[in-house]
Amino acid sequence: MISEDLTRAQVIEYINGRLEILKLDPRLAIGTWLDAEDGRTYLDIVVIVAERELAVSEGRKYNQIGIFDLRRKKLIRTGGTGTPMPKFVPFEQRLPPLVRGPGKEDDERI
C-alpha cells in the first residue's frame, strides 16, 4: 500500500487483510517507511533476515526500491522501482526453510 497520508484505520485494515500470510513464516512482518524523495509512505509485508547479502538479493529480485538495515537504521536502495511484478512467487516459496540450531529455539538462521 502506498499513501501520501496513511491513517491508523488503513494500517489496521492492511494488517487484518494479511494475517494469514504473516502466519506463514516468523520472518514475515509489517513494515512501513516514508520515502523522503517522493513524500509517500509505503506499507508492506517485509522479510526480516540477518544476512545483508540475502536481503539485497531478495530486494532486487522483487523490484523493491530498497531494503532497511534495522541495525544501522538506514535505507539501502536496491535500484528497483517498487512496481509489483506481474508474476509474484507465493510468500511461502520465497525464502529458504527456517533452520534452528539444536537447543536454540530463538535462533532464526537461514
Task: Provide the pLDDT for residue 53.
Answer: 92
Q: Please state the pTM of the whole predicted model.
A: 0.71
The candidate with the shortest Cα–Cα distance to 95, out of 64, 51, 63, 65, is 51
Q: Can you list the residues of the chain whose pLDDT is less than 50?
A: 106-110
pLDDT tens digits, one per residue of 79-108: 999 888 777 777 667 776 766 666 555 444
Task: Provide the pLDDT for residue 19.
Answer: 94
- For the chain, give the mean pLDDT: 82
Q: Give the whole-number percent of the chain exceeding pLDDT 90.
A: 34
Task: Provide the pLDDT for residue 9.
Answer: 92
Task: Provide the pLDDT for residue 101.
Answer: 63
Task: Say which residues have a Cβ less than 8 Å from residue 98's Cβ, sequence separation at least 6.
Answer: 25, 26, 27, 108, 110
**The C-alpha cell that represents 36 in the structure block:** 523522503
Strands (E), 48-103: 66-69, 74-77
Task: Provide the pLDDT for residue 38.
Answer: 81
